[in-house]
C-alpha cells in the first residue's frame, strides 16, 4: 500500500512541478499577497490632505491653522477662496476635508461670543471620514481650551489682581498603553492573517483541481484500472499539497519575520502544529469540491464561492466584533476564524495552548469531520 | 472579419456557458453573495468596545469618570476587575479590548487641583480598531477633563464661560457615514473584475487543454473573431451580473445614485470590455486552466480588491505602491463609481478616468488578438 501511495505522490509532484509556470505559481501568489498586505494595506490615517478657507484672515485664524498643521495629521494642500473652489476641491478628491473659518472669527472669540469653525468632510470613505472628523474636533477642542484658559486667567486677574498669574485647575489625561502592537502598525495585524488565508486558498484549490483535472481529461479512468485503491489515491492526491501548504507557511513566516519584522512571541512549533490541524479541514474541503464538480471551471467557481465568505467572515480584514450578532454566531461555523485567532494569538500576543485550546479543539473537530465526510463521499463517487 | 463567423463563435460560447448550469448559477450568485456580505456583515465602524474597569480609587470622583465611559455609545463596560491580571486575561482571550485603570490617588489629586492621570490599556493587535478606540477614549477623558476644569475655573472666577470655539462638522456625500454607501459602489467594480477574471481566464486555456483549440484553428475563423465572439458571450453574463449588483445596491441597500445613469452604463461597459479582454489574454498566455486561474486571481482579483481604493485608501500607501495603483484599471472604475453614485459628478470631473479605461480596453484587445495570432503560427 505504501509503495502505491509513494508512486502516486511521485506522479503528483512531477505533474505539479513539471511545468515552469506551475512551479512559479505555487509560490508567487503567496508572496505577492504577503507583500501587498505588508506594504500597501494600511488603514492608518495620517497626513490628511485638507483645504483651508480662511475668510477671517486674522492672527487668531492663522493661529488655528498653525495648530492644524502642527498636529502632524493634516497637510494644507489648497486655499480655496470661493464656494465653487470648495466644491471643486472636494469633487475632484484633491482634499479629504475643507476647514472654513468664517468672517469675524477673531472678533467673536475675543468678545466671548461662541463661534464655530466649519469642517466639511468628504464622507465617501466612511472609515477615513470618521477618523478625520475625530482628529479635526480634537485640534479645535484643544484650541478652544487654550483660548478659554487664557480668557479665564485674564478675568481672574482683573477681578482679584493679587492672585497668581496661572490659576491651577486639575487636568486629567489618559495615559494609554497599547499592548502587543505599540506602534499600531497595520501590517502586524494583517501579515499573520495572510498565513491562514494562503494555506486555505492554495491547498483547497490545488487538491480540488488536481482531481477534477483527471476527470476532465479522462485520465481518472486510467487511474481506476490500476491496482490503486481509493484511499491510496486520496492520500496521494492530498499529501503533496499538504506539503506545499506547510512550505508556504514556512516561507511566509520567514518573510514576515525577516522582512516585515513581525514579532513571533509564541511557539513556532505550535504554529506548525495548528497549521497541520487546519490543513485537515482545508484538504477535506478540497476533496469535497472535487466530488461536486465535473470540470475545472466548476471547481474554481465553487472554490471561489466557498473561500470568499470564509475569508470575509474570519475576522481577517473585518473585525468579527463589528458584525451583527447573528452573523457573529455564523462565524463560529467558519474554521478559518479559529485558525486566524490562533495565528494572531501566537504572533502578537504570545499566548500558548493554555489560552488557545478552545480554538485548537474546534479545528481538530472540524478537521476530522470535514476530512472524514469528504473522504467517504470521494470514495463513493469513485465506486 | 465576418459577421456570420463572429455570430457562430458567440453562439457556440453561449451554449457552452448555459450548458454548465452549476458554473453559471455561481457566476450569478457571486455578486449577490458579496453584496450581502459587505452590506450587512462587514464594517470597519467601531462601537460598543468591550471594556473592563479596574477602579483602585473607588470614590465618588472615580465613579463619575466611569459614568462618562458608560454614557458613551462607543464603550460597553463588561465589568469591574480587581487586579491587572484580570485585564490581561481578558485581553489575551479576546473577551475585552480595553482596560481602564483609575489610580488610587485619583480623587485626592483632582480634589486638590493637581493633574491626575487615568491608565488606558488597549489591545493593539487590530491596529485600525485600536487607533479608533484610542481616539474615542482620549476624547471621553479630555471632554470630562475640560468640563471639570471649566467648572472649577468658573467657580473661582465667579463667572460662567462656555468654550469659545466649537467644531461644526459637516460630512458631504455620505452624511450618515454609513460604510455601505462607500463600499457598495466600489464593490460593484470589484465584482465585475472578479466575474470577468473567473469567467474568461479559463475559456481559451480550456480549449487548449481539451485539444479543441486545434479544431477551432482549423476552421476559417480569424483570431479577432474568436476573441470578439467569446467576449460577447461573457459580456452578456457580465452585464447581467452588473445589473443584478446595481439593483441590489440601489433597492436593497438604498445607496443613492446621484449622477447620470448613462455615464454609469458607459463606464461599466468600457471596464467590462477591458477586463474580459484581459481575462482572454491571460487564458491565451497560460495554456493550462490552473495557471490561468492563478494568474487571473493574481492580476485581477487581488489588485481590484486591495489596490483600487475600494476599502483601503490609496493615499496612505507607500509611494512605490501608489505608483503601481495607477496601472490598476479597477482603481479608475472605483473612482468613477464613487464619483457617479455618491458625489453625482459628471464627465467634466471624470473624463480622465473614463479615458484611461477606454485606452486600456483597446490596448488589451490589441494585444490579445496579437497573442492569438502568435498561437496560430
Going from the N-terminus, what domains does chain B have, and what CATH number goes with each?
3-42+177-376 (no CATH), 49-157 (3.40.1710.10)
DSSP3 helix / strand / coil % (chain A, rounded to 5): 70, 10, 20
- Alpha-carbon span B317 to B307, nearest angstrom: 9
Chain A residues in contact with B154 (beta carbon < 8 A): 152
Please list every residue in chain B whose beta carbon sits closer than 8 Å to the beta carbon of residue A123.
171-175, 177, 181-182, 342
A179 at interface of B, judged by CB pairs closer than 8 A: yes
Using pLDDT thresholds of 50, 70 and 90, give the confidence band for residue B158.
low
What is the model's pLDDT at position A364?
Answer: 94
| Mean pLDDT value across chain B | 84
Using the CB atoms, write b or e for B168-192: b if 16+ within 10 Å.
Answer: ebebbbbeebbbbbbbbbbbbbbbb
Nearest by CB to residue A152, choosing from B144, B161, B316, is B161
Task: Tell me, yes or no, if A308 comes closer than 8 A to chain B by beta carbon.
Answer: yes
Q: Which is higher by pLDDT, A89 or B166?
A: A89
Cβ within 8 Å of B, A 130-169: 130-131, 133-138, 140-141, 143-145, 147-149, 151-152, 155-156, 159, 167-169
pTM: 0.79
For the question of an ipTM over 0.90, the answer is no
- Which chain A residue shows the shortest CA-CA distance from B346? A91
CB contact under 8 A, B135 and A174: no
* Cβ contact B113–A321 (<8 Å): no
Torsion of CA B149, B152, B153, B156, to 10 degrees: -170
Residue A172 reports pLDDT greater than 80: no
pLDDT tens digit sequence for B25-53: 888 888 888 888 887 777 777 778 899 99
The answer, yes or no, to whether residue B4 has pLDDT greater than 90, is no
Q: Indicate which of A73, A112, A172, A293 best probes the interface with B, i.e. most B CBs within 10 Å of its own CB.
A: A172
CB within 8 Å: B110 and A172: yes
What is d(CA B125, CA B127) in angstroms, rounded to the nearest whole number? Answer: 6
CB contact under 8 A, B127 and A185: yes
Would you say residue A168 has pLDDT above 60? Answer: no
Distance CA(B54)–CA(A104), nearest Å, equals: 47
CB contact under 8 A, B41 and A133: no
Confidence tier at A178 by pLDDT (50, 70, 90): confident
Q: What pLDDT does residue B210 have?
A: 80
CB B120 within 8 A of CB B112: no
Nearest CA in chain A to B303: A36
Q: So what's the pLDDT on residue A368?
A: 93
pLDDT of A43: 64
Of A169, A176, A321, the CB nearest to B153: A169
Handedness of CA B247, B253, B259, B263 (dihedral sign): negative
Distances (CA, A) of A168 to A144, A153, A173, B164: 18, 10, 15, 20
* Fold type of domain A48-159: abc type-2 transporter like fold (3.40.1710)
| B316 closest CB neighbour out of A32, A33, A45 | A45
Q: Which of B93, B117, B135 has its CB closest to that of A173? A: B117
User: Is 90 exceeded by the pLDDT of residue A269?
Assistant: yes
Q: Do B37 and A136 touch (CB under 8 A)?
A: no
Q: What is the mean pLDDT of chain A?
A: 83
Please give the Cα distance from B196 to B189 (Å, whole number): 11
pLDDT > 90: percent of chain A: 15
User: What's the confidence (pLDDT) of residue A226?
Assistant: 81
CA pair distance B191, B206, nearest whole angstrom:
23
> How many helices and strands, by DSSP H and E, does chain A display?
14, 5
Whether B121 has a pLDDT exceeding 50, the answer reads yes
Give the distance from residue A324's alpha carbon to the nearest chain B alpha carbon, in angstroms.
6
SS3 B232: helix
CB atoms within 10 A of CB A371: 21
Q: Which of A27, A303, A278, A317 is nearest to A192 (CA)?
A: A317
Q: How far apart, in whole angstroms, are the C-alpha atoms of residue B224 and residue B1?
A: 8
Number of C-beta neighbours around residue A22 at 10 A: 17
Strand A115-122 to A97-101 pairing: antiparallel
pLDDT surpasses 70 at B175: no
- CB within 8 Å: B124 and A179: yes
pLDDT of residue B239: 92
Tally A–B CB contacts below 8 A: 391
Gap between the Cα atoms of A247 and A355, Å rounded: 27
Question: How confident is residue A163, by pLDDT bands cut at 50, 70 and 90?
Answer: low
Strands (E), chain A: 48-54, 74-78, 97-101, 115-122, 172-179
Using a CB-CB cut-off of 8 Å, the residues of chain A touching B289 are: 209, 213, 296-297, 300
Model pLDDT, residue A165:
46
Instruction: Convert the pLDDT of each residue in A21-37 to its tens digit.
Output: 677 777 777 888 888 88
Q: Answer for the pair A205, A303: CB distance below 8 angstroms, yes or no.
A: yes
Between chains, do B165 and A297 touch, taking CB under 8 Å as contact? no
In chain A, what are the domain boundaries? 2-41+185-382, 48-159
Q: CB-based contacts of A292: which residues, under 8 Å, 6+ apart?
A: A298, A302, B22
- Taking contacts as CB-CB distances below 8 angstroms, the residues of chain A near B143 are 141
Q: How far apart are CA A199 and CA A27, in angstroms?
A: 11
Q: Alpha-carbon dihedral of residues B35, B347, A74, A119, nearest 10 degrees?
A: -80
Radius of gyration of chain B (CA): 29
Q: Using pLDDT thresholds of 50, 70 and 90, give the confidence band for residue A42.
A: low
Lowest-confidence range among A174-188, A255-269, B65-79, B282-296? A174-188
Read off the pLDDT of each residue in A222-228 and give the average, rounded to a whole number. 80
CA dist B308 → A49, A245, B34, B78, B333 (Å): 19, 29, 17, 39, 8
pLDDT (average), residues A286-313:
88
How far does CA A179 lie from the centroid of its chain? Answer: 18
More confident residue, A367 or B93: A367
Amino acid at each position: 500500500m505504501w509503495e502505491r501511495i509513494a508512486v502516486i505522490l511521485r506522479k503528483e509532484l512531477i505533474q505539479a512541478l513539471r511545468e515552469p509556470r506551475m512551479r512559479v505559481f505555487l509560490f508567487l501568489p503567496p508572496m505577492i499577497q504577503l507583500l501587498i498586505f505588508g506594504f500597501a494595506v494600511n488603514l492608518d490615517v495620517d497626513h490628511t490632505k485638507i483645504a483651508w478657507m480662511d475668510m477671517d484672515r486674522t492672527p487668531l485664524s492663522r493661529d488655528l491653522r498653525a495648530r492644524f498643521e502642527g498636529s502632524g495629521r493634516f497637510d494644507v494642500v489648497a486655499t480655496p477662496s470661493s464656494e465653487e473652489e470648495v466644491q471643486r476641491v472636494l469633487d475632484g478628491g484633491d482634499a479629504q476635508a475643507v476647514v472654513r473659518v468664517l468672517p469675524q472669527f477673531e472678533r467673536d472669540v475675543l468678545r466671548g461670543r461662541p463661534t464655530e469653525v466649519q469642517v466639511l468632510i468628504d464622507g465617501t470613505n466612511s472609515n477615513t471620514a470618521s477618523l478625520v472628523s475625530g482628529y479635526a474636533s480634537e485640534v479645535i477642542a484643544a484650541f478652544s481650551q487654550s483660548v478659554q484658559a487664557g480668557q479665564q486667567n485674564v478675568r481672574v486677574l482683573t477681578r482679584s489682581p493679587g492672585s497668581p498669574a496661572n490659576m491651577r485647575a486639575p487636568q486629567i489625561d489618559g495615559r494609554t498603553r497599547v499592548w502587543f502592537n505599540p506602534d499600531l502598525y497595520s501590517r502586524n495585524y494583517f501579515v499573520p492573517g495572510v498565513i491562514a488565508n494562503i494555506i486555505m486558498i492554495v491547498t483547497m484549490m490545488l487538491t480540488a483541481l488536481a482531481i477534477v483535472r483527471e476527470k476532465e481529461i479522462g485520465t481518472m479512468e486510467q487511474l481506476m484500472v490500476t491496482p490503486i485503491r481509493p484511499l491510496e489515491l486520496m492520500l496521494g492526491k492530498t499529501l503533496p499539497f499538504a506539503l506545499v501548504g506547510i512550505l508556504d507557511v514556512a516561507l511566509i513566516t520567514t518573510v514576515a519575520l525577516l522582512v516585515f519584522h513581525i514579532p513571533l512571541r509564541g511557539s513556532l512549533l505550535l504554529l506548525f502544529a495548528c497549521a497541520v490541524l487546519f490543513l485537515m479541514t482545508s484538504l477535506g474541503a478540497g476533496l469535497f469540491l472535487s466530488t461536486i464538480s465535473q470540470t475545472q471551471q466548476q471547481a474554481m467557481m465553487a472554490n471561489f464561492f466557498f473561500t470568499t465568505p470564509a475569508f470575509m467572515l474570519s475576522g481577517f480584514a473585518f473585525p468579527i466584533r463589528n458584525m451583527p450578532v447573528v452573523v457573529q454566531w455564523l462565524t463560529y461555523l467558519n474554521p478559518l476564524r479559529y485558525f486566524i485567532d490562533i495565528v494572531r494569538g501566537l504572533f502578537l500576543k504570545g499566548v500558548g495552548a493554555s489560552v488557545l485550546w478552545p480554538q485548537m479543539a474546534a479545528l481538530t473537530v472540524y478537521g476530522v469531520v470535514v476530512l472524514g465526510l469528504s473522504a467517504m463521499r470521494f470514495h463513493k463517487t469513485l465506486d | 472579419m465576418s459577421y456570420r463567423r463572429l455570430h457562430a463563435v458567440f453562439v457556440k460560447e453561449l451554449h457552452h456557458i448555459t450548458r454548465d448550469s452549476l458554473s453559471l448559477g455561481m457566476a450569478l450568485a457571486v455578486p449577490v453573495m458579496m453584496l450581502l456580505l459587505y452590506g450587512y456583515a462587514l464594517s470597519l465602524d467601531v462601537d460598543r468596545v468591550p471594556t473592563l474597569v479596574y477602579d483602585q480609587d473607588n470614590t465618588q470622583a472615580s465613579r463619575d469618570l466611569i459614568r462618562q465611559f458608560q454614557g458613551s455609545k462607543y464603550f460597553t463596560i463588561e465589568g469591574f476587575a480587581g487586579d491587572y491580571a484580570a485585564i490581561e486575561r481578558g485581553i489575551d482571550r479576546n473577551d475585552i479590548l480595553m482596560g481602564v485603570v483609575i489610580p488610587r490617588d485619583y480623587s485626592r489629586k483632582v480634589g486638590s487641583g493637581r493633574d491626575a492621570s487615568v491608565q488606558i490599556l488597549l489591545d493593539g493587535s487590530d491596529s485600525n480598531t485600536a487607533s479608533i478606540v484610542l481616539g474615542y477614549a482620549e476624547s471621553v477623558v479630555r471632554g470630562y477633563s475640560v468640563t471639570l476644569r471649566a467648572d472649577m475655573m468658573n467657580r473661582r472666577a465667579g463667572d460662567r464661560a462656555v468654550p469659545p470655539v466649537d467644531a461644526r462638522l459637516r460630512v458631504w456625500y455620505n452624511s450618515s457615514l454609513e460604510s455601505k454607501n462607500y463600499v457598495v459602489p466600489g464593490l460593484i467594480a470589484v465584482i465585475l473584475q472578479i466575474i470577468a477574471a473567473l469567467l474568461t481566464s479559463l475559456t481559451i486555456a480550456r480549449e487548449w487543454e481539451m485539444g479543441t483549440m486545434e479544431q477551432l484553428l482549423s476552421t476559417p475563423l480569424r483570431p479577432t473573431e474568436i476573441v470578439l465572439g467569446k467576449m460577447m458571450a461573457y459580456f452578456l453574463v457580465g452585464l447581467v451580473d452588473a445589473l443584478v449588483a446595481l439593483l441590489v445596491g440601489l433597492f436593497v441597500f438604498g445607496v443613492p445614485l446621484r449622477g447620470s445613469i448613462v455615464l454609469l452604463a458607459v463606464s461599466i461597459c468600457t471596464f467590462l470590455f477591458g477586463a474580459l479582454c484581459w481575462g482572454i489574454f491571460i487564458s491565451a498566455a497560460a495554456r493550462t486552466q490552473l495557471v490561468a486561474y492563478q494568474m487571473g486571481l493574481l492580476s485581477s482579483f487581488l489588485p481590484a480588491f486591495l489596490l483600487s481604493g475600494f476599502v483601503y485608501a490609496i493615499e496612505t500607501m507607500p509611494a512605490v505602491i501608489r505608483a503601481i495603483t495607477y496601472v490598476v484599471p479597477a482603481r479608475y472604475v472605483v473612482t468613477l463609481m464613487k464619483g457617479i453614485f455618491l458625489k453625482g459628478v459628471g464627465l467634466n470631473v471624470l473624463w480622465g478616468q473614463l479615458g484611461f479605461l477606454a485606452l486600456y480596453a483597446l490596448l488589451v484587445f490589441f494585444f490579445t488578438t496579437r497573442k492569438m495570432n502568435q498561437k496560430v503560427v
